Amino acid sequence: METLQGRTAVVTGSSRSIGRGIAERLAARGALVAVHYARDAASAQDVVDTIRKADGQAFAFGAELGGEGDAERFWAEFDVQRRAFSDDGDTGVDILVNNVAVALRDQFEDATSADFDRMMAVNIRAPFFIVQHALGRLRDGGRVINISSAVTRLGLPEVIAYGASKGALDSFSRILAKVLGPRGITVNVVAPGYVDTDSNADWLRHDENAWEETAAKSVFGRVGEPEDIGDAVALLASDSGRWITGQHIDVSGGTRM
């Protein structure tokens, strides 16, 4: 297992679901993980406590994303909590995972401008400016990993606006890889498929037919787990990922191949 010892990782939206799986995996590899949350401080602290019980290092910080000035507030709060965690004064970042997202289900004919704007604000605008405002703190040789979705290749009509926002994230990531390449910073996209998370509980966990049908979409015959995504992110974050950049890594278990 490659170590991430001595590196600081920031994972947006890591108080639950896929983000939590990523945070815990990076911490297990030795990284100091900043667990970001928007509103649920208690869940973020639970992630921190879990990591610390496993002899890892983590701290939580909160910032709402999707509004004017959100990137500035995000990093300002990170700095406050990082300094509270340790008095070494180091607010540099080695690994930045843009995971937080809003996924609203809208058929094209029913989509509203409010839903569209909300998804664009959180899913692409926030990552764009979070990275922009991190340029001075991202260390050379670092990693930017953006969590997209398999919907960008599956073409699901019920998530058309969400898919468009993730498609924009994919394009941003490819271009950003060129921008940051001279500094040795890799930029990649990890695209999960169907994953067993609390946000999917209503239609996935409580419906046996839905679970079986969803599992059958993967060549492995099962539904993904947050840890599956966390391991892919950890690989890209490690030294083994140093020669991988500008890539869209499908982590859907071969969904609909």
Just list the catalytic residues. Answer: 162
DSSP-derived letter for residue 218 is S
DSSP E strand stretches across the chain: 8-11, 32-37, 57-62, 93-98, 138-147, 186-192, 248-251
Side-chain half-sphere CA neighbours of 118 within 13 A: 12
CB atoms within 10 A of CB 195: 24
Residue 102 CA to residue 225 CA, distance in Å, equals: 19
113-120 and 160-180 helices, crossing angle to 10°: 20
CB neighbour list of residue 30: distance below 8 Å, 6 or more residues apart:
3, 4, 5, 6, 7, 56
Distance (Å, whole) CA 226 – CA 214: 16
Which CA distances in Å does 126 have to 39, 80, 251?
Answer: 16, 20, 23
